[in-house]
Structure 1
């Protein structure tokens, strides 16, 4: 009687483990197995952005000064055919997060002149190619794409 009771309860309530295994066994792969990755990732130095992020101007004799902290995001080449997760893994930093940079600089404007001090974001630049693999066959689908990580500031000064 004890044996019969055990058999009945085991049949009535299968464990979750058995249910999961049955689900995995019945899963089918539909379509080709495809993934993308970055290859030939390398640093190509630094670059100064074009947009002005802070500015000071005035007539001399005076000192122009900029002191600020900014949050600046990563910049990517247009039309990269890979997810931001793939790009982040390939370049070595999270391309979805902003970075805090300190903007601090000064420039003396000579007497009788009008000066303008502009700050621009300075970026570390990585260049890469995007590779596509489908069912074990790989091919490069994009070349020369870039990711720009904010690392500091560049200054430009003009005077009239």
Structure 2
């Protein structure tokens, strides 16, 4: 019985010695990101290695600004677009946490591209010239970044948008 008490006592002293070193000094040490925990921040933007997403809310859908595909032609024809594109998640600039933290917060892998099938047709009126344009349709989440070392929100109103489909515009002249 004495031996067990002595061993537990030694472990308690070792544990106390380890815990005694965790003060303000221990929190000031930085963690450099590895390949598994790449950061989304620019080099001069703040990075929060222990950051997480809070106040995550859906912001609905929107159409992208860069065309995925375009078809145009004279009146009396049918314009058609049919192809598959790989599209990435779009993120706010200078989010100071890792991709893993963002993925966990929004609920999807932000590093993974998605395959979008673009397929659509439109008849062009006689005597006109028509243009059919396809854009990526995104579903978005808005969030704040909380730093677990400072115990406060350090970045507000950041966004992540996941590609979910296609939006079309059609113009005739």
Q: TM-score, normalised by structure 1?
A: 0.79
Q: 1:51 aligns with which of 66, 89, 96?
A: 66
Which secondary structure state, in structure 2, belongs to the residue aligned with residue 86 of structure 1? helix
| 1:25-36 alignment runs, 5 A limit | 31-32=26-27, 35-36=50-51
Alignment partner of 1:140 is 2:145: no
State which structure, 1 or 2, has the greater radius of gyration over its C-alpha atoms: 1
Q: 2:83 aligns with which of 49, 68, 75?
A: 68
- Could you give the per-residue CA deviations for residues 109-144 of structure 1, whole angstroms, max 9, x where no partner exists? 00110000000000000000001121xx51111111
Which secondary structure state, in structure 2, belongs to the residue aligned with residue 31 of structure 1? helix
Instruction: Give the drift of 1:106.
Output: 0.8
Moved >2 Å (runs of 4+): 24-31
Compare the two structures and name the one with the higher strand fraction. 1
Which secondary structure state, in structure 1, belongs to the residue aligned with residue 50 of structure 2? strand
Q: Count the aligned residue pairs.
A: 136
- Could you give the per-residue CA deviations for residues 61-100 of structure 1, whole angstroms, max 9, x where no partner exists? 1110101111101000111111111000000000001001
Q: Distance in 1 between matches of 2:164 and 2:117?
A: 9
Q: TM-score, normalised by structure 2?
A: 0.73
| 1:1-160 alignment runs, 5 A limit | 31-32=26-27, 35-134=50-149, 137-160=150-173
5+ residue gaps, structure 1, are 1-23
Q: CA RMSD in A?
A: 2.1
Which secondary structure state, in structure 1, belongs to the residue aligned with residue 102 of structure 2? helix
